[in-house]
Amino acid sequence: MQNYKFIISYDGTRYHGWEKKPGIDTIQGKVEGVLNRMVGADGANEVNLIGAGRTDAGVHARAMTASALLETKLSEAQIQEYMNTYLPEDISINEVKVCSDRFHARYNAIGKTYRYTCWYGASKPVFDRKYVTILDAEPDVDKMKEAAGFLVGEHDFKSFCGNPKMKKSTVRNVDAINIEKSGNYIRFYFHGNGFLQNMVRILTGTLLEVGYGNIPPQRVKDILSACDRKQAGPTARPEGLCMMKVDY
């Protein structure tokens, strides 16, 4: 058995997230299915693909990192070719590398970058429609940047966690939030050591409320310290979110 590292891109539009679920199309389930077919695994010896994170239903990835132990005589290039031949067109294996037996895609990750893309305007983003969230009006970017400054650093992000039954620590370090406007596009970039369930989408939804004048920028500090999901803004739609990179 050899440990392999995979870099995977996917359009999450028609999938119920990364994590495998019985009878439901997921990214992990699709990739594991092809790997099991490739190595001829039986029910007792199926491949376990470990992802760096668990993206939600409808969320995309440009560079999800994953790892799996495989018993195969195929080269890295042959594994990549096989997988891309049999995976659907909305999932791509961009890289396959033999790695250390101790490498673990999730536990060894030290940072992640997510991008959330919004669009506003009188026309429609026809060719980007599956990858952006369409806004009703233009938000105030300067106010959102001011509010984002209060969110940077190590904090308890319980107010921005979508799992009310979360028992583990909700403390995370978000070391950068950048908001960029280009034409009709507004892109939010989040980098941190890890993110809670729905956290990036709730952060984005809250910042957009600030941009629309519904929440004063300074109030974000109170929302953060409240540790109460009800105090934060709505969970932004999934289609605008994309995992961009995992750091090791």
For the question of residue 247 being annotated catalytic, the response is: no
pLDDT tens for 95-112 read 999 999 999 999 999 999
Band of pLDDT at residue 114, cut at 50, 70 and 90: very high
Q: Give the Cα separation of 118 and 34 in Å (integer).
A: 34
Amino acid, single-letter form, for residue 183 = G
| Residue whose tokens read 């940077």 | 152
Q: Is the pLDDT of residue 42 over 80?
A: no
pTM of the shown model: 0.94
Burial class (CB in 10 A: 0-12, 13-18, 19+), 212: middle
Helix, strand, coil fractions of the chain, as percent rounded to 5 = 30, 30, 40
Q: Which domains does the chain have, with CATH numbers?
A: 2-98 (3.30.70.580), 111-247 (3.30.70.660)
Give backbone dihedrals phi and psi of 92, rounded to 5 degrees, phi first. -130, 135
Q: Which of 56, 90, 222, 247 is catalytic?
A: 56
Residues in the chain: 248
The answer to whether 66 and 12 are in contact (CB under 8 A) is no
Band of pLDDT at residue 166, cut at 50, 70 and 90: confident
